[in-house]
């Protein structure tokens, strides 16, 4: 038990000794360990003595660990597991408990909430819990405690799930709940009629009432902003909102246009984890929870039918029931019906899930990258976390280029592409990089735009290592599509060849009058490009997906520009940043006696080691991506094959840069580096596959079909026929041909959409 406890601690888990019978820690006051890990000496002392139990504290202290507990002998586990996709189920850590139940453990990429009861059963006048979670502030006994046995996976190697994957697990459990919660408890229950057999219908269709009408037509964004909430981006169809008083970090709530789902437990007056209708949000923020006052206010603004208020009956409780219909802790923003529509008309989710932009917490890389980001964000006129991250990562990639490698000879050369619209603040991160390179004597290695592959080669012949900062990468990508002859000196081919030649000798073309072939030993090219999202999407093609360049790019959608501020100067880079950059410039780790110009021509990079647990983690990542590749190979999907073939390599490159940023003098690739890099690379791969499925067409007609499907997704899965035709901007005959094709293929279905006056014909994604 002692060695296992130490392994758990090394994996970042808050491990404590416990009494097996009482299921409680035996360390006296254990509350402090809800927020910080014990140190090695504490764990060593606790488990040096005989212990009959071991427990782990959940939540942020253990890396956003959450556990689903299946009680009552685990009777619902099999039914729950049958609802989970096989690839997701196979990643989870599962153990049996001393009572015959099951524990399912994982980490989440975002904050987890406190303990939540997911499935219950009424029995003998009471209620028993069948499935519940252990989250922030909770704990659970686990193997190797007697009676607990790991059935799948290792607690020291927990998978990291996306919020969408976590919500899928939650929904599957809630589906097994045996308590009728169609009429949730409310502060206004006293106002409900005693005979309430039709209340569910009222709560699902009250658009003639001010609150119900506001749920359909109202806009809560100005209300949220008025009370200090800030929208910081999007993830698929979900807007990401940060609570008041929080300036950086991850989002606190999501909004899909209908339901405002709060994750943070520090977002008063909202309870969490819970979904809130637009009417409820308006009432809590504008009227302190007084639904009667809120109803009168909205009526005065023109919401609801005028005759619906010609009564002495207080209808606020009925309207509030509509607000509560989306309050389940298992709310899934893709399938919640918070707009008071009939559930039978709820649109299905698309076959290809959009993982959305990179979550903001994934931009946090310790050490040099964080320092450069902090300086950029503090001084940029319009600070943007995604752009600051790209700039800092590109700078670190260049500085350690030709100087470090992994044990399997991978190099830190990366191609970053930031999707940023005009006015988002693209210039400042580039200015910071230019200043650092000027101050450290590397300005000759800084490239701007490149008009040809030959230009890239000529620049590398002068410097051997280059940082190109190109603001028109969408033009370069369009050139890939127009290069029909696939000439060897085209930009995409040279970019591809340079990327794979970072550990080899790269021969440069022979020019006219040149007597011998020139070459570069271990060339290093870091690319920090920016592109307008619209033009980037339009430039995507099947050829780009399968030639390997797309799979090697890190594509970061930076979202909207940040809040404006009084800018600083990129010329005033802190000494701490410059000192580290100069250290890298002077660092020459070559063989004894090698230095100066000789090292510059024929470098011997330093090998950065993996820690043992990091090595296991990257091996697990390799197995996962190999399985995805074989799955794509069976389906003969070349785009998927190409994407998954590079995912693990991208993760190792990112982990190498992470290690160099964290400790430039003695870099080591740790478990934390691998976990971050793996999560980042997996997100990137999934995003690429979504873009491929949504934008890459085989012919012009196919492109129009994909465009129509995108319009439906943008409208939450369904749209009235007349509105959809206006959005497509095509001839009626062409529109009907697209619709007919998609109907025949089963991609869409015809639906009737209720409106205020009549039923409209429309379509939804199947």
Cα–chain center distance at 575: 34
Could you give the CA distance from residue 661 to residue 581 in angstroms, rounded to a whole number? 11
> Does position 587 have pLDDT exceeding 50, yes or no?
yes
Q: State the average pLDDT for the chain.
A: 80
The CB-based long-range contact list for 237-246 (8 Å cut-off, 24+ gap) reads 237/333, 237/334, 237/354, 237/713, 237/716, 238/333, 238/356, 240/360, 243/267
Q: How far, CA to CA in Å, does 550 sit from each of 302, 355, 479, 488, 541?
A: 51, 17, 14, 18, 10
pLDDT-derived band at 583 (thresholds 50, 70, 90) equals very high
Q: What is the pLDDT of residues 641-653, one digit of tens each?
A: 888 988 999 999 9
The pLDDT-based confidence of 323 (bands split at 50, 70, 90) is very low
CA angle 99–104–105, rounded 5-degree value? 125
Whole-number pLDDT of residue 477: 67
- 526, 467 Cβ separation under 8 angstroms: yes
CA distances from 49 to 5, 32, 42, 148, 199 (A): 13, 22, 12, 20, 60
pLDDT band, residue 312 (cuts 50/70/90):
very low
pLDDT above 60: residue 86: yes
Closest by CA to 246, choosing from 111, 349, 381, is 111
The pLDDT tens digits of the residues spanning 252-271 come to 888 888 788 887 767 888 87
Looking at residue 510, its pLDDT comes to 54
In whole angstroms, what is the distance from residue 7 CA to residue 15 CA?
10
**Does residue 542 or residue 220 have the better pLDDT?**
220
Q: How far apart are CA 358 and CA 352, in angstroms?
A: 17
> Is 691 in contact with 713 (CB distance < 8 Å)?
no
Mean pLDDT of all residues in 353-381: 90
Is the pLDDT reported for residue 180 higher than 80? no
SS3 644: helix
d(CA 330, CA 636): 36
Sorting pLDDT into bands at 50, 70 and 90, what band is 409? very high
User: At CA 556, angle to CA 553 and CA 559, rounded to 5?
Assistant: 155
Pair of tokens at residue 5: 């406890």
Q: What is the C-alpha to C-alpha distance for residues 432 and 283, in angstroms, rounded to an integer?
A: 46
User: Would you state the structure tokens that stand for residue 196, as one six-digit string?
Assistant: 């309430």
The pLDDT, as a whole number, for residue 394 is 96
pLDDT average, residue stretch 695-711? 81
**pLDDT reading at 597 higher than 80:** no
Do residues 303 and 218 make contact, with C-beta atoms less than 8 angstroms apart? yes
Question: With pLDDT > 70 as the criterion, what percentage of the chain qualifies?
Answer: 82
* Least trusted range by pLDDT, from 335-339, 357-361, 374-378, 692-696: 335-339
Instruction: Write down the pLDDT at residue 178.
Output: 82
**Looking at the domain covering 706-765, what would its CATH class be?**
mainly alpha
pLDDT at 330: 37
Q: What is the pLDDT of residues 728-741, one digit of tens each?
A: 888 888 888 888 88
| 327 pLDDT above the threshold of 60 | no
Higher per-residue pLDDT: 701 or 513: 701
Instruction: Decide: helix, strand or coil at residue 490.
Output: coil
Token pair for residue 145? Answer: 């405690």
Please choose, from the candidates 402, 399, 411, 472, the residue with its C-alpha nearest in 3D space to the C-alpha of residue 437.
399
User: What share of residues in the chain are helix, strand, coil (percent, to 5)?
Assistant: 45, 15, 40
DSSP state of 669: B
- Report the relative pairing of strands 65-70 and 126-134 from DSSP bridges: antiparallel
Terminal Cα distance for the chain, rounded: 51
Minimal CA–CA distance to 218: which of 123, 316, 304? 304
Rounded to the nearest 5°, which phi and psi values hold at 63?
Answer: 75, 40
Which range (204-213, 334-343, 505-514, 711-720) has the least confidence? 334-343
Q: Which of 286, 137, 133 is nearest to 220 (CA)?
A: 286
> Helix or strand or coil: residue 112?
coil
Mean pLDDT of the region 20-49: 84
Which of the given ranges, 294-298, 325-329, 610-614, has the highest pLDDT on average? Answer: 610-614
The pLDDT tens digits for 394-405 are: 999 999 999 999
Omega of the bond leading into 718 within 30 degrees of 0 (cis) = no
- Asked if the model's pLDDT at residue 492 lies above 80, the reply is no
728 C-beta neighbours (distance < 10 Å), count: 16
**Sole residue written with tokens 């290695």:** 445
- Confidence at residue 445, expressed as pLDDT on a 0 to 100 scale: 92
pLDDT for res 130: 93
**Locate tokens 């943008």: which residue?**
714
For residues 165 and 185, what is the distance between their CA atoms, to the nearest angstrom?
A: 28
The CA distance from 477 to 531, in Å, is 10
Q: Predicted confidence band at 236 (pLDDT cuts at 50, 70, 90)?
A: low
pLDDT at 315 over 60: no
- 533 or 393, greater pLDDT: 393
- How many CB atoms are closer than 10 A to CB 223? 16
Residue whose token pair is 């006293």: 190
Q: How many CB atoms lie within 10 A of CB 52?
A: 13
**Mean pLDDT of the region 19-31:** 83
- If you ran DSSP here, which 8-state letter would residue 122 be given? E
How far apart, in whole angstroms, are the C-alpha atoms of residue 684 and residue 415? 13
How does DSSP assign 379-398, residue by residue? Answer: H-SS--HHHHHHHHHHHHHH
Place of tokens 């005009």: 422
User: Which one-letter DSSP state was computed for residue 610?
Assistant: B
Alpha helix stretches (DSSP H) within 401-513: 427-439, 453-463, 473-482, 491-500
Please write the tens of the pLDDT for every residue from 545-582: 677 777 888 888 887 777 888 989 999 999 999 999 99
Phi, psi dihedral angles at 682 (to 5 degrees): -65, -40
Helix (H) or strand (E) holding 76: none
| Separation between Cα atoms, residue 387 and residue 40, nearest integer Å | 38
Q: Which of 610, 609, 643 is nearest to 625 (CA)?
A: 643
Domain 360-507+518-695 fold is Rossmann fold (3.40.50)
In terms of phi and psi (left: phi > 0; alpha: psi -120 to 50; beta: otherwise), the region of 106 is beta
How many residues does this entry show for the chain?
766
The predicted structure's pLDDT at residue 112? 83
All residues at 6 or more sequence positions from 677 whose CB lies less than 8 Å from its CB, including other chains: 650, 651, 652, 653, 654, 655, 658
Give the ranges where 129-220 is alpha helix by DSSP (H): 163-174, 199-204, 210-217
Does the N-terminal peptide bond of residue 111 adopt cis geometry, omega within 30 degrees of 0? no
Alpha carbons 280 and 278: distance in angstroms, whole number: 5
The whole-number pLDDT of residue 481 equals 58
Is pLDDT of 347 > 70?
no
Backbone angles phi, psi at 175, to 5 degrees: -60, -20
Q: Which CATH fold topology does 2-174 show?
A: Prim-pol fold (3.30.2250)
Report angle CA 176, 216, 246 to the nearest 5 degrees: 75
CA distance 278 to 109: 27
User: What are the structure tokens assigned to 19, written together?
Assistant: 């009494």
Query: How buried is residue 124: exposed, middle or buried, by Cβ count under 10 Å (0-12/13-18/19+)?
Result: exposed
Question: Which range among 21-35, 367-381, 706-720 shows the weakest confidence by mean pLDDT?
Answer: 21-35
Are residues 442 and 585 in contact, defined by beta-carbon separation less than 8 angstroms? yes
Mean pLDDT across 316-342? 36
Low-confidence winner among 117-121, 153-157, 332-336, 377-381 (lowest mean pLDDT):
332-336
């Amino acid at each position: 038990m002692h060695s296992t406890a130490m392994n758990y601690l090394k994996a970042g888990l808050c491990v404590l000794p416990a009494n097996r019978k009482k299921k409680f820690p035996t360390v006296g006051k254990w509350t402090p360990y809800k927020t910080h890990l014990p140190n090695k000496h504490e764990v060593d002392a606790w488990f040096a003595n005989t212990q009959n139990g071991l427990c782990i504290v959940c939540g942020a202290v253990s890396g956003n660990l959450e556990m689903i507990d299946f009680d009552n002998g685990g009777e619902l586990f099999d039914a729950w597991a049958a609802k989970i996709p096989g690839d997701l189920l196979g990643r989870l850590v599962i153990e049996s408990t001393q009572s015959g139940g099951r524990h399912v453990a994982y980490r989440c990429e975002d904050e987890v909430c406190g303990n939540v009861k997911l499935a219950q059963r009424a029995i003998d006048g009471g209620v028993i819990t069948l499935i519940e979670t252990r989250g922030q502030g909770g704990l659970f006994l686990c193997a190797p405690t007697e009676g607990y046995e790991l059935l799948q996976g290792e607690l020291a190697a927990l998978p990291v799930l996306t919020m969408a994957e976590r919500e899928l697990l939650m929904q599957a459990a809630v589906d097994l709940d045996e308590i009728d919660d169609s009429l949730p408890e409310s502060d206004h229950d006293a106002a409900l009629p005693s005979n309430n057999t039709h209340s569910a219908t009222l709560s699902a269709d009250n658009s003639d009432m001010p609150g119900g009408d506001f749920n359909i037509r109202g806009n809560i964004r100005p209300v949220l902003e008025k009370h200090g909430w800030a929208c910081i981006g999007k993830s698929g169809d979900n807007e990401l909102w940060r609570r008041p008083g929080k300036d950086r970090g991850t989002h606190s709530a999501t909004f899909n246009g209908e339901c405002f789902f709060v994750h943070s437990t520090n977002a008063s007056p909202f309870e969490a984890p819970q979904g809130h209708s637009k009417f409820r949000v308006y009432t809590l923020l504008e009227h302190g929870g007084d639904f009667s006052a809120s109803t009168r206010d909205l009526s005065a603004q023109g919401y609801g039918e005028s005759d619906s208020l010609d009564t002495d009956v207080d209808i606020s409780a009925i309207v509030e029931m509509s607000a509560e219909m989306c309050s389940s802790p298992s709310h899934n923003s893709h399938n919640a019906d918070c707009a008071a529509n009939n559930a039978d008309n709820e649109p299905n989710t698309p076959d290809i899930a959009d993982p959305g932009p990179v979550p903001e917490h994934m931009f946090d890389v310790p050490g040099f990258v964080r320092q450069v980001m902090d300086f950029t964000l503090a001084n940029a006129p319009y600070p943007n976390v995604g752009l600051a991250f790209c700039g800092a990562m590109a700078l670190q990639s260049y500085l350690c280029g030709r100087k470090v490698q992994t044990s399997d000879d991978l190099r830190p050369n990366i191609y970053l592409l930031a999707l940023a619209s005009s006015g988002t603040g693209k210039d400042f991160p580039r200015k910071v990089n230019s200043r650092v390179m000027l101050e450290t004597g590397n300005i000759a290695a800084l490239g701007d735009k490149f008009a040809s592959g030959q230009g890239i080669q000529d620049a590398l012949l002068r410097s051997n290592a280059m940082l190109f900062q190109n603001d028109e990468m969408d033009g370069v990508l369009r050139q890939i599509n127009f290069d029909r002859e696939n000439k060897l000196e085209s930009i995409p081919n040279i970019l591809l060849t340079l990327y794979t030649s970072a550990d080899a000798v790269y021969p440069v073309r022979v020019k006219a009058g040149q007597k011998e072939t020139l070459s570069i030993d271990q060339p290093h090219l870091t690319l920090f490009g920016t592109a307008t999202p619209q033009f980037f999407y339009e430039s995507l093609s099947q050829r780009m997906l399968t030639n390997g360049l797309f799979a090697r790019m890190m594509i970061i959608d930076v979202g909207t520009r940040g809040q404006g501020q009084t800018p600083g100067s990129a010329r005033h880079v802190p000494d701490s940043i410059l000192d580290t950059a100069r250290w890298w410039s002077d660092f020459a780790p070559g063989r004894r006696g090698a230095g100066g110009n000789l090292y510059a021509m024929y470098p011997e990079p330093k090998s950065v080691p993996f820690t043992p647990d990091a090595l296991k983690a990257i091996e697990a990542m390799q197995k996962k991506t190999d399985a995805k590749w074989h799955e794509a190979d069976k389906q003969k999907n070349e785009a998927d094959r190409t994407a998954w073939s590079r995912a693990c390599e991208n993760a190792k490159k990112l982990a190498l840069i992470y290690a160099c940023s964290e400790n430039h003098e003695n870099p080591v690739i740790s478990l934390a580096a691998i976990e971050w890099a793996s999560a980042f690379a997996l997100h990137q791969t999934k995003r690429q596959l979504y873009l491929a499925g949504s934008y890459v067409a085989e012919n012009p007609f196919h492109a129009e079909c994909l465009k129509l499907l995108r319009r439906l997704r943008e409208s939450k899965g369904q749209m009235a026929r007349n509105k959809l035709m206006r959005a497509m901007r095509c001839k009626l005959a062409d529109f009907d041909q697209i619709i007919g094709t998609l109907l025949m293929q089963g991609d869409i279905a015809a639906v009737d959409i209720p409106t205020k006056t009549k039923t409209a014909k429309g379509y939804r994604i199947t």
